[in-house]
Structure 1
Amino acid sequence: MARHLIQGREVTMPVRVRDVMVCSASYLVRADAARAVIAYSHLDVAEVLPRKALCTLVFADYLDSDLDRYHEFGVAFLARPPGSGHVPGGGLRANLAELRRTGAGAFVHWLPVDQGFTLEAGRAIWGFPKELADIDLRMSSPYKRCIVRKDGRLVLDLLIKPGVPVPGTGMVTALDAYSHRDGVTRRIPWSLTPRGIRARPGGALIRLGNHPIARELSELGLPKRALVTSTISHLAMSFGEAKEP
């Protein structure tokens, strides 16, 4: 069993998250713009429709995990693994199914957190692009809201309106996450077990600030209508050891 020493504490693999509340908004964005954003990773975005990529904004309240309790915000893109080739033309559903078959995963472009232990663990164990930020989560009201500030500058203010209940409670889903740090791209095995899923088309309101990440999102075409939003009231996850793809 692999072990990592983080701030004098031993972290054993896989790292487990026993309970986290997650909200997300996914957007169709220009594939050429998304490709330019993640060019440093040497991965390619997955075109879920011709010339369209998928960008997801996610915020999470980690209530019980091996890396303590913390808040997190993420910017991720659906990306193709090296050597997977292009997805054939077709509808969104067919293309997503083909991408799953070929091992497409979530490339994590930016991942601010508000606690130091998870910051160091995320960087050292998986190469995640974690950095400290002010993350104001408002999860107790019917509408879920996240306000992110970095270095005193507003990055974004994101509001999500929960949708209708959907199936999937208790089902285990295996995915790959991808990270890039210190010139190395890594693949991280990732499993998720959700309970209390709600989803809907649209359902997000976003206001961008003047931070460089906000400018990147603006260049992708945000703010715009979300393709889909989701909320998960209880999510369990595990993360395996990172490997080069």
Structure 2
Amino acid sequence: MSTATDVHVIQGERVALPVRIRDAAVASAMFAVPAGPAQSLIAYSGLEVAEPLPGRAICSLAFVRYADGDLGPYHEFAVAFLVRSPGSSGGRRKRVGAFIHWLPVNQEFTLDAGRSIWGFPKVLADMPMDLSGRIKRCAVRFGGRTAIELAVKPGLPVPAGRPGGRTAPRLDSYSCLDGVTRHIPWTVSPSGLRMRPGGAEVRLGDHPVADELRGLGLHRAAALSSSTITHLTMAFGAAEEVRS
């Protein structure tokens, strides 16, 4: 049974936590970028980028078509960075999470929900997306002004895990809005996963966010890897403020 703190009213509709996504499709790519500029870009969050290799951070680009979920159908594009989870800087195993730096969407309900419930940096954009073709494509535009275009080529099928063998993995994501950094736990369960080395093409436009990404060298960087998921379920829990 939900408590009062588990329920939010968005545009007159009740949204109970955890918010569940029952069907989504995803295409994504990961890039190694200079750690210094990446850290400067997310310094406002108070978080630190993870460096899998000295001097290199990981930037992830992803676009998602939400077909069925508690926030309705919509398109989304994410720019995220791999970060050290607060309090995990010591020890042999360091926890990491995904910091969501930029999150355009194409529907107002999810925009309001994402900003008010979790502090996700959602903005409203035009987002033509094609996940039906061999190459998956998405563009983010504001009044006809292109910010970014991403194309992801097909990879090889990744065998699914043993049915019933594991629960959906819990991941850590982080947001920062209006000076408040938050931790958001979420779980994912993918099927129809394909992966490959490289396989992504990025085109940057003249939007300010494009200039930020150009400063990381994304307009000329080769992807470390890319992936597509035909069916993804997710659940997002309550956000907690990260205190320094």
Sort the TM-score into its range (normalised by shorter chain).
over 0.9
Is 1:83 the counterpart of 2:87? The answer is yes
C-alpha separation in 1, matches of 2:159 and 2:224: 19
Q: Deviations over 1:8-46 (max 9, x none)?
A: 000000000000000001000000010011000000100
SS of the residue 1:232 aligns to: strand
Q: Where does 1:112-123 land on structure 2 (aligned, <5 Å)? A: 112-123=104-115
- 1:94 aligns with none
- 2:33 aligns with 29
C-alpha separation in 1, matches of 2:179 and 2:159: 40
* Candidates 129, 141, 159, aligned match of 1:137: 129
- 1:92 aligns with none
SS of the residue 2:154 aligns to: coil
After TM superposition, the runs of 4+ consecutive aligned structure 1 residues lying more than 6 A away are: none
* Candidates 12, 37, 40, aligned match of 1:8: 12
C-alpha separation in 2, matches of 1:158 and 1:181: 25
Is 1:149 the counterpart of 2:156? The answer is no
Q: Which stretch of the first structure deviates more once superposed, 136-145 or 166-175?
A: 166-175
Is 1:243 the counterpart of 2:208? The answer is no
C-alpha separation in 1, matches of 2:45 and 2:159: 34
SS of the residue 1:207 aligns to: strand
Give the superposition deviation at 1:86. Answer: 6.2
Q: State the aligned residue count.
A: 233
- 2:54 aligns with 50
Determine if contact 1:74/1:110 at 8 Å carries over to the other structure: yes
For the aligned residue pairs, the C-alpha RMSD in angstroms reads 1.4
Q: Which amino acid aligns with 1:175?
A: L
C-alpha separation in 2, matches of 1:161 and 1:131: 27
Q: Which amino acid aligns with 2:12?
A: G
Give the superposition deviation at 1:216. Answer: 0.8
C-alpha separation in 1, matches of 2:160 and 2:178: 37
Q: Where does 1:1-245 land on structure 2 (aligned, <5 Å)? A: 1=2, 2-85=6-89, 98-99=93-94, 102=95, 104-168=96-160, 172-223=168-219, 224-245=221-242
C-alpha separation in 1, matches of 2:136 and 2:91: 34
Unaligned runs of 5+ in 1: 89-97
C-alpha separation in 2, matches of 1:205 and 1:107: 22
SS of the residue 1:45 aligns to: coil
Q: Which stretch of the first structure deviates more once superposed, 153-162 or 123-132?
A: 153-162
C-alpha separation in 2, matches of 1:168 and 1:126: 30
**Identity rate of aligned residues, in percent?**
55
Unaligned runs of 5+ in 2: none
Determine if contact 1:47/1:87 at 8 Å carries over to the other structure: no
C-alpha separation in 2, matches of 1:132 and 1:82: 30
Q: Deviations over 1:77-103 (max 9, x none)?
A: 001122322687xxxxxxxxx44xx2x
Q: Deviations over 1:129-183 (max 9, x none)?
A: 0010010101111100011112431111111001001134565211011000111
C-alpha separation in 2, matches of 1:33 and 1:156: 19
Determine if contact 1:154/1:208 at 8 Å carries over to the other structure: yes
How does the TM-score come out when normalised to structure 1? 0.92
